[in-house]
Amino acid sequence: MKNWLTKVAATAFVVATLASCEKDEDKATVTPSATPALTASTNSVVLNQANTTNTAITYNWTPVQLAVSGTEFTKTPAVTYQLQVSKTADGFGYPALIDAGTGTTKAITVGELNTALTTIGVVAGTATTVYTRVAAVAGTDAHTFVSNPVSLTATTYTVCLPPAGSKSWSIIGPAGVDWNTDVPLTYNCTTRTYDITRAMKADEFKFREDGKWDLNYGSASSTGGALVKDGGNIKIATAGTYTIKLDLNNKTYSITK
């Protein structure tokens, strides 16, 4: 009986050892023959909530080149990229992450960048130098290869939200686009107004709530002043870039070129 048990144990050991060796031989080693090189469209940005959907900065990088060794059956793994933002060039332990897909370029909006910078503790309103690098993440084992860090001096903003229960406001009319297209206004926490700065045509517009005509305001004046519910169209005499402010507390508006 003892000899039989000994033979069984020995056989099991050999099988386990062979399986282990087979697994070790099957493991692939992924190494980069060329890591990404990162460049940026600018080295300084001042972010403003009114432009939250605009592009703040565009990053471009060269693709990572991978070499796989260890087994003839392993394919070169798929690669995805992420941008990592940190307050120090060598402190990327807990960076803000921005998904960059599978390509070699990423246009980051004002809102995306402001969120990332707020995440790493950048103080709003203060020009701060931060660092960005691109990381190539390869395969399901998440082999990661990073680029050189690129510096950026950025000024962020504190996200401003309108009072609770507030509705959205916009301008509408051919002075902006047309009578079927609303141009959204952004709430300004400092002035407590709904604002926009944009190119306007020499034509007419009105203010309205939630993209509907149920509540709308117009005025006989083309230079600002009191608003009238269901009032007349506001006329822009000369085409140009204007800053328009809607003050719902006082039912007034201002327009400056």
pTM (2 decimals)? 0.64
CATH architecture type of domain 169-256: Sandwich (2.60)
- Residue 12 is predicted with a pLDDT of 36
- 28-155 and 169-256: same fold? yes
pLDDT in tens, 72-109: 445 667 899 999 999 999 889 899 999 999 999 999 99
CA-based torsion, 15, 17, 19, 25: positive or negative = negative
- Residue 162 is predicted with a pLDDT of 87
Residue 2: exposure state from Cβ atoms within 10 A (0-12, 13-18, ≥19): exposed
Q: Which residue intervals of the chain are DSSP H helices?
A: 2-26, 110-119
Strand duo 186-188 + 182-184: pairing? unpaired
Residue with tokens 């023959």: 33
Residue 158 to residue 71: CA distance in whole angstroms? 52
Domain 28-155: which topology? Immunoglobulin-like (2.60.40)
> 103, 111, 69: which is closest to 83 by C-alpha?
103
Written as six digits, the tokens of 45 are 């940005």
- Residue 189 is predicted with a pLDDT of 86
Domain ranges of the chain: 28-155, 169-256
Residue with tokens 């039989």: 4
Adjacency order of strands within the sheet including 240-247? 186-188, 193-200, 240-247, 252-256, 224-226
Residue 37 to residue 54: CA distance in whole angstroms? 25
In the predicted model, residues of the chain with pLDDT beneath 70 are 1-33, 68-76, 140-142
CA angle, corner 139, sides to 132 and 24, nearest 5?
125
